[in-house]
Amino acid sequence: METTKRLNTIELFAGVGGFRVGLEKANEDLFKVVWGNQWEPSRKAQDAFDCYASNFDEGIHSNEDITTVTDEAFRNLDAQIVVGGFPCQDYSVARSLSGEKGIQGKKGVLFWEIKRIIEATSPRYVLLENVDRLLKSPAKQRGRDFAVMLATFRDLGYKVEWRVLNAAEYGMAQRRRRVFIFATRDDSGFSKELESYTADDILFEKGFFAPVFPVKPEVIKNRRLEGMLPDDIVEISDTFTANFHNSGYMHGGRFHSIHTEPVFEKPTPLRDILQPEETVPDKFYLKESAIEKFNFLRGAKKIERTSADGHKYIYAEGGMSEIDDLDKPGRTMLTSEGTTNRSSHVVEVDGRRRFLTPLECERLNGFPDNWTSTMSDRMRYFCMGNALVVGLIERMGWRIEQIEQHHPVPVPAQESFFINNN
């Protein structure tokens, strides 16, 4: 039996293409990004898109407001996978005034665009990334936003598995923690396989994440949550609350969530991603005044401040090392990297202190050297602060390839004829 020759992929909110880099590193013949969208509404210059377009040749490169792209345009892409790192926003919903029109999400919330694209394309798989606080937001109604998302996938006919991953715990160079969400359509072969397992089987061994991101085989006491999502998504938005843990599975509205512990792999230390000192321009080295500023910013402090309403309070901040340990992985990189900011990495090599270079920041995320060289240093730092760790996506690509090998999908008759005769 002939099987699918490739998986057409839609990459949403692509940035500089982290999902695509990771998937193509896993198997560039299997994963074909047919449409990648990157659009920054608040900027005239589209640096991330220009970087994306300069590094990839195939597929449609879209630099447009995704809300203006028609459903028909998405249907014509024949996509089997939708991927993307989307903004963490307020996912509350409400009943429409007329009632019969169903529910309405807040305008401008891009998750509803993901929902629309899934409705238009019915992909076999959906793979999304977000900050891990998504599981707990909003603070006044813990877990509501994530539950709205789970119910949306349920209503679209998908099973969902999620996992919070710290890249350094799986051998990579950055202590970057993000939640990844994998959804598989209910009628897919992998989805049907999951129905033969318990939730613990899925989360510890048989599901999407565990085979490539192993976890210890025990549940920490009192770190388990099970329940059923209400049928009415508006009820979820109005009243539902849950303390979701870092791993979980949802099928038909029934959710199981546990706290898993990784089987640690030795991380890549900072020193392994540094470029030779003779290649580092002088502009990245710190002057004495900047060193003094960093020593203050990274030191312990208690400062009296005054709030907007005149209330005085003490702002306290714990101390941290003046320089980053070269024998440990890097800390989470932020968009302010490379500025005189407490969160910026400061390394000391041969007695001199300096920022990480943009190239080294690319390495922290696993991108090829000079991937972002089309833009200014400031934007290179910014884009890497927003990017994901490519090595994580590469492993997920391996996992999808495994799934496809075990659950091949027949090619339509005329396409099979074409393959056999070429």
- Catalytic residue IDs: 88
Nearest-angstrom CA–CA distance, 138 and 179: 16
Nearest-angstrom CA–CA distance, 193 and 2: 21
Q: Strand 103-105 relative to strand 125-131: parallel, antiparallel, unpaired? A: unpaired
- Identify any residues that bridge with 254 across adjacent strands, giving them in sequence order: 228, 251
Nearest-angstrom CA–CA distance, 254 and 230: 9
Virtual torsion, Cα 407, 412, 417, 422, nearest 10 deg: -60
DSSP 187-254: TSHHHHHHTTS-HHHIIIIISSSTTTS-B-SSPPTT-EEEEE--S-HHHHHHH------SEEEEETTE
Q: Strand 346-349 relative to strand 103-105: parallel, antiparallel, unpaired? A: unpaired
Residue where the block lists tokens 């922290």: 364
For residue 223, what are the contacts with CB-CB under 8 A and spacing of at least 6?
245, 258, 259
> Quick one: which of 329, 333, 324 has its CA closest to 273?
329
Nearest-angstrom CA–CA distance, 167 and 21: 16
- 22 in Cβ contact with 397 (< 8 Å): yes
Nearest-angstrom CA–CA distance, 164 and 157: 23
Using alpha carbons, list the distances in angstroms from residue 219 to 198, 215, 268: 14, 10, 28
Q: What letter does residue 376 receive in the DSSP assignment?
A: -
> Quick one: which of 8, 15, 11 has its CA closest to 367?
15
**Residues for the chain: how many in total?**
422
Residue where the block lists tokens 């920490």: 220
Nearest-angstrom CA–CA distance, 33 and 22: 12
